[in-house]
Chain A
Amino acid sequence: MTVTLDKPADRLAPGTSRRAGGRPPSPGLAPWLMSAAVAVAVLLTAANLHGVLEGWSWLFQVAVTVGAIEAATGLARRLEWPPLTGALLGLAALVMSVNAMFLAPTSFLGVIPGPDTFAALDPLLEEARDTVVSQVAPVLVNPGVALAACVGVGLIALLVDTLAVPLQMPAISGLGLLGLVSVPAMIKPNSIGAAGFLAAAAGYLLLLGCAHWLAADGSGRGRLASSEHLRRASGIAAAGLAAALVLPLAIPGFSSGLFPEGSRLNWGAPTGLNPVVSLGDNLRRPGAFGRMTYATDAQEPLYLRSVTLENLTGARWSPSPFGGNKRTGIDELDVPGVQNLLASGEVTTTLISTASFTSPWLLVPYAPAQVSGARGQWSWDPSTLNIRGESGTTTANQDYEVRSVKPRLTRDILRAAEPANNAVVDPVFSELPRNMPDIITDTAASVLDGLDSPFEQAMAIQTYLRTSGFVYSEQAPVDGGYDQSGFDVVAAFLEEKSGYCIHYAATMAIMARIAGIPSRMAVGYAPGRPTGTVLTDGPGADLKEYEIDSRDAHAWPELFFSGVGWVSFEPTPSRGVLPAYAQTETTPGSPTQPEDVLRPTNQPRPGAGAAGEQAEPNSPAPAEDDVLSRQLWSAAVAAVVLGLLLTPLLLRRRRTSRRRAALAAGGTGRRAAVAAWVEAVDVAEDLGWAAAATETPRAFQQRLDDAGVVTGESSAALSRLRAGYERAAYAAPETPAPDGHNAARWADVEAVKGRLQERAGWKRRLAGLFWPASLFSRRPSGADGRRADQDYLA
């Protein structure tokens, strides 16, 4: 390393180095100030969860949790307790505040977890999990979700606090805030937007500012350089801003806003955890991904169903609670109707290969009778035939065979169906909330006017939705939770007459319930495209293979007809396959539009690779884009991981270079001597020879000498460094500073370092490089409890 170490020492004249203004607060206030800054930063960032969680009611609970944690850590710092105690106290505050808010009845004194608390915790966690699995952002805030939010944000507050204060790395604490902000950034349809970004940034800057302010209490560090500092900082900020503005233009997938959809971390696979939101996302995505294949012996391509939504509690669709009547084992789904059909031989065999599709719900054609080959634990609900993975089982990378049955339905059979008797089906399928927007009831009344037979009513609704000027659009206004299927969204849909399958299916299901027909919404995949491959499964049976991907994500209504069972309809124009029984009878003047004509699904589509009608015309090569953006994201994440790995190394390097700078700056030999010695001690610690707090410099040097760690020249170098340090640290301030060239000092440090590295094994050297122990140990501190050397030695 060649660095001119001996600059003239005139830059920091004594007396000019005091900070001009901004006197820090009294030490008694400092711990509280820091805690308050952390709390405000975390809460400002957490406010972005609005939109992921419905409303603002949760923010109060989160604020209580964060406040309690910060009060606890602030108190610990005020009392000058060791940092670990502070963190534990914060953790205790987290547990106690959460207990007080959610689990008070089972706790001692309302705050301390009692023996029953864990039992009480279980349903809350289950509730939270179900909400995450089944609801669309913004989700309704039930106690489980609020608990999860409090615990999550609380832990992040604790992390930020620990990084910012005891570990003295306020800049790194931004990672905690980033983690927090990344959740809404990924989940919210339009990401967090400018306001949310600014709020989070303001919180972070506040944190940094407070930390900087408190650190700069005039303990001798030169502030002359502050203008230079400012210049450098603004330079970096400008470059960052420019990159943020230019990058979206360069990377495909970014289209608008500060954090548009492209910035969400997607790994190419639809997560599928949340059936409705992922559906909207999948459809809007420019490229196709998550390719799956299925092969079936059915004459017509199949709809693959993932889950049904029938629970209208909370004025939106969600799966009914999966628990009470679930059955485990899916080798045989023994529901009488299904088994009868199975016996009569109306069986379809389908081989499904899910590849990267990940969902807790198993993708099967309706109605599954036997499933074989699926790994993991699965259970199913007899009332819906939803199949769900237990204890973490998902559909990822599964290959399984489904034998399903489908009754042969004709229009005549359906026409004959009587209005359903409510006793036959679970009330959950026919419930309607009391207050519905007028537009829904009015539309339903006008569509159903004068029709009595359930089938005619259903057909009327479907026809109404497939015609009447409804336009299929995935770019329908996605703001304000339009990805949902609640009543307000259905009302908006009826007004706008623009939307996609979710809206069509939800509207039809709701209108069917108004007509008295039990209904539910099925979520899954529309039939895809044939690949042209034909598999042979056993003797004689040819299975035609189809491929489906994210663009085929679909939702459709299923209506219950007594004596027949659940029948699916297809109200969405231009998607899926209209079943024969549900086709409108062709009459002169039929309003059937050309796009209603079903896809010629039994032949390969022209231009097989091309997207369907819904593919955006402005993305010419979606598959390529997809690969590219996936690679970019992989690269970005790899860079982040690499950055995290390198952080200790860089921090340690920074410390070294600051000490070198202290030496290069010249100044009094005193500072340089201390910096050189401390660096030598830190180097030794990195390489496994830590100086104990109770060890004097001499004793430390003696130990290294005795152990033969330093010999000859390196021993003499260490001895010189030690002597210089002793003189600097313990001699009278009036005496002349220790003499010696700063360059020679640094050469001594290098000599010691070289010798130590020589002695240490490669493992030790690697550890010293990437996980420098000196970064995490605390030097003996002075009586004021602060690091004595933190200004220019840290």
Chain B
Amino acid sequence: MDDTQLAAQVAQGDERAFLTLYDRYASHVYALTMRILRDPNLAEEATQDTFLKLWSRARLYLSERGSLPVWLLTIARRTALDRLRLEARRPTLSTGEDPEELWQTIPDENTTPEESRWHSMQFAVQSLSAEHRMVLELAYYQGLSQTEIAETLNWPLGTVKTRLRAAMEQLRREWGEK
């Protein structure tokens, strides 16, 4: 059963469909919330909140607007960033270069084409320069505006804008080639 059908069943109150979606995407939601919050307990709470929102708002999901995992992970990102602001924690920079993590991104034979594209995006991010990866991390995973990033890194605002744009242009090029 595909995600759209499962989401429709969840909207009807089907608990089994809900748990199927949990089993399918919990590890991605947890990984994203961990990346944002960097705390297992907070990430667990954010993951729980995300799936409770899926349970209560599944009827709002429109498949023509995007895939279910993107919808779910968008909720997860917002939930985690809200929690980050609530905790008022200053961002810590991740190198994103843990060899163990990188090993997990190598596609195996069961990987779907969509997952394969996500894995290639992981490699694309890894190939960014340290400065580009840093501004991307602070913007997307720490929820900082360009002005806040400039203050955090003590860089000129123009430099932040240029590097952020350059990082995204590089990702777009590599994403488009796949």
* A, B from the same assembly: no
Binding site for B on A (CB under 8 A): none
Binding site for A on B (CB under 8 A): none
